[in-house]
Amino acid sequence: MIQSIHDYILLKKHQKKYSEEKIKKLQFISIKKMIDYAKLNSPFYAEKYKDLSFNDLTDIKKFPIINKSIMMENFSTLNTCGIDKEDVLAYAVEKELNKDYLGYYQGLYVIGLSSGTSGNKGIYITPKKMTKRLPAVFLARSGLSLLDLPMRILFCLRVFSQGFNDINAPMMKLSYLSTMTPPISIIHTLNEKKINILMAPPSLIRFLVPLKNEIKIKLKKIVTYAEVLTLEDKHLFEETFKTKVIEIYQASEGQMASACSKGKLHINEDLVYVELYDENHQEITKPHLVGHQMIVTNLINFAQPLIRYEMNDMIVLDEPCSCGSHFRTIERIIGRRDDLLYFYNLQHEKKYVFPDLFARWIITTSDLIREFQVRQDEIGHIIITIDAPLDFEVLLLEERVHKELEELHLSAKIAIEIKPIQLPKDKNKYKRFITENIDKKEVF
């Protein structure tokens, strides 16, 4: 408990009071500690970093970049707990088959499993003592405040894990439901348990919108995570549920960003060190530029050091926030780099369209479109599946997409089908964009 209060106060202090200079100093110290620890305890990093030294924050650029496949290929020598990849993978898969997500591996670690587009599984280790400290992080960085106490939170999770079970305090009651629970049952739980804070992915909340009249309780806040919250969804949820909607941006690799009291997403500069680069590999330090490459160093997880780990996400920074925090702000989470859509222009040059923009065209065409999926199997060819009434006028959507593309001097063949869309049965995130057979290296 004392540890939690200490963590909470410290996290709040970093976010609210630290100057840019102080943040940089804290980041330097944290990265140095992480690198030194990794060199000593991880054979992988010991070898990779043997001729490198870190004496200044800018030195980080001399350190090699890793990614998920490099991390997984070297899993057993990269982690600092001597955990063997095959053993832990067998453990995680068995847990998954039995739908048993509780418990600690070797009594000491929470094991998380994620799968990417290429189908390769990612394994993430969180030490038990760190999961015990998650409630403080959660409270300090979830956009919730002490004013929201007492909290009766309903967490809709794709997969439940011990990490979440550890969040339970006197003023904070948590209930869990799988995201596979039928929407009406979710609403029954909201009513029965008098939930005042709903945490769920946006794709799930969209399914609750048509059932809004069944909700008998008053929500204080909705917190979304796991998927990008579009501005349209945010407005729709605020309007429908008459409550504030905030977002947290987290990944298996770390707690990337969370909303402040103004509802603005700030990078958690004291938990992750984020480097952003443009298309020409120049570092981005100003707002409004698209970060095509996002490199993350987790500053708190020593069990599995992720140092200069390349994410697949693209984000855009924003101006400083009026809340006064010097943590960088995020204007837009564009989505995964894998989700870019490709088209030809009039000169037959390949160009891309950002997935968040394409999503906006679809969502804003009609309220009748409950969910959608976009598939691309060749450049300039798009198949859009929409969950909408069968008599929905698809021509509306077709014309809209053509019109928007024309404004960008792009053309495409568009096919549209109406079909009920189910959220995925497995634990993967719902994917709104699926692109196949397109060589993105060539296009970039």
- Return the residue matching tokens 């909470």: 8
12 binds Zn ion (CB under 5 A): no
307 and 38 Cβ atoms separated by less than 8 Å? yes
Measured from the CB atom, the residue of 153 and 257 that comes closer to Zn ion is 257
CA separation, residue 31 to residues 34, 105, 155, 279, 305 (Å): 5, 27, 32, 26, 10
Near Zn ion by CB under 5 A: residue from 321, 333, 363, 384: 321
> How near is the Cβ of 284 to Zn ion at its closest, in Å?
20
Spatial distance between the Cα atoms of 364 and 54, rounded to a whole number of angstroms: 49
In whole angstroms, the minimum distance from the beta carbon of 223 to Zn ion comes to: 16
Does position 262 bind Zn ion by CB under 5 A? yes
Assess 260 for contact with Zn ion (CB under 5 A): yes
Q: What's the closest the beta carbon of residue 102 comes to Zn ion, in angstroms?
A: 35
Minimum distance, C-beta of residue 41 to Zn ion, in the bound complex (Å): 36
CB atoms within 10 A of CB 28: 18
Residue-by-residue DSSP string for 86-102: HHHHHHHHHHHHTT---
DSSP structure string for 140-201:
HHSS--GGG-SEEEEEEESS--HHHHT--BTTEEEEEEETTS-HHHHHHHHHHTT--EEEE-
Candidate ranges 28-36, 46-54, 125-133, 262-270; the one touching Zn ion (CB under 5 A): 262-270
DSSP state of 244: E
Confirm if 222 and 237 have CB atoms less than 8 A apart.
yes
- Residue 75: count of CB within 10 angstroms of its CB: 20
* CA neighbor of 131 nearest in space, from 114, 155, 150, 111: 111
Of 91-99, 257-265, 271-279, 312-320, which segment contacts Zn ion by CB under 5 A? Answer: 257-265
C-beta closer to Zn ion: residue 95 or 264:
264
Q: Tell me how far apart the terminal alpha carbons of the chain are, to the nearest angstrom.
A: 50
- Residue entry with tokens 């000169």: 347
CB of 262 to Zn ion, least distance (A): 5
Nearer to Zn ion, 15 or 196 (CB): 15
> Which region, judged by CB under 5 A, interacts with Zn ion, from 57-65, 136-144, 325-333, 430-438?
325-333
| Binding piece for Zn ion, criterion CB under 5 A, among 24-32, 41-49, 161-169, 255-263 | 255-263
Which of 70, 323, 357, 423 binds Zn ion (CB under 5 A)? It is 323
Does 264 interact with Zn ion (rule: CB under 5 A)?
yes
> Strand 197-200 to strand 151-157: parallel, antiparallel, or no bridges (unpaired)?
parallel
Size of the site for Zn ion (CB under 5 A): 6
x/- track of binding to Zn ion for residues 141-170 (CB under 5 A): ------------------------------
Residues in 35-64 that interact with Zn ion by CB under 5 A: none
What is the nearest approach in angstroms of Zn ion to the Cβ of residue 323?
3
CB of 28 to Zn ion, least distance (A): 23
Which residues would be at the binding site for Zn ion (CB under 5 A)?
260, 262, 264, 321, 323, 325
